[in-house]
Amino acid sequence: MPLTSFAPGLSIQGFTPPLRLSDFKLVAFDMDSTLINIECVDEIADAAGRKEEVAAITEAAMRGEIADYKESLRRRVALLRGVTVADMELVYTQRLQLNPGAEKLVKACQAAGLKTLLVSGGFTFFTDRIRDKLGIDYTRSNVLEIESGPNCGQLTGRMVDQPWGDICDGAEKRRMLLETCAALGIDPRQAIAVGDGANDLPMMGEAGLSMAWHAKPRVREQAMVAVDEGGLDRLLEVVRP
């Protein structure tokens, strides 16, 4: 079913608005280029003088042109070796901002009783801070390994395996969405999923409502709501508080 224009810069398919937020119980967000304005891995790479190389891989992965997302992330993280925790702190304090409408949408969902989930192919250094800033209930993302000893405080160029697995890719985002729904005792159709890249499609496909925000073409085409102009809070035009 093709997307149809609902309002300038906002298209819908597969449902008739308005819906109500209270009909949903969970909202899941991607982080990089969705809740926040940057791709953190690209900005970290800038400190190593490798932003252009890393950003090209990120762009291809988000467009869905790289079949193995995990390998693409390992390649990018390997190029971060030697970047310091202080460099990442500067990315957070000087470059990272919440995208327009992010805080308003999260607060509206919370006020309507929805639980909130942040699932990211990015890193806990940033997701933990966004979680705390917005009061998000659940998160899943990747852990960057940090050197000890003489190079204490520098990235090793690797990630740390976690109890749930090695890397949060599209399959893991989907699994985390379904696990969270099961833990809450709700049907996935009572979940909203918001993202912009190809690795968000697996979770968006499980949710009862999916939104693509300033997304790659493939994601925009498959989402139920596509926002091409304005902030994340434009979802509230079709899902009323």
Q: What is the mean pLDDT of residues 6-35?
A: 96
Residue 2 pLDDT? 84
Task: Please count the other Cβ atoms lying within 10 Å of the Cβ belonging to residue 240.
Answer: 14
pLDDT digits (tens, 9 = 90+) for 186-241: 999 999 999 999 999 999 999 999 999 999 999 999 999 999 999 999 999 999 98
Q: Considering the chain, what is the average pLDDT of its residues?
A: 96
Given the residues 30, 42, 87, 169, select the one marked as catalytic.
Answer: 30
Please name every residue paired with 209 in a beta bridge, in sequence order, or none if there are none.
Answer: 192
> In CATH, what number does 4-240 get?
3.40.50.1000
pLDDT of 151 strictly over 80: no
* 42 is known as an active-site residue: no
Given the residues 23, 32, 132, 200, select the one marked as catalytic.
Answer: 32
pLDDT digits (tens, 9 = 90+) for 92-136: 999 999 999 999 999 999 999 999 999 999 999 999 999 999 999
* 23 is known as an active-site residue: no
Domain range annotation of the chain: 4-240
Q: State percent of the chain over pLDDT 90.
A: 95
Q: State percent of the chain over pLDDT 70.
A: 100
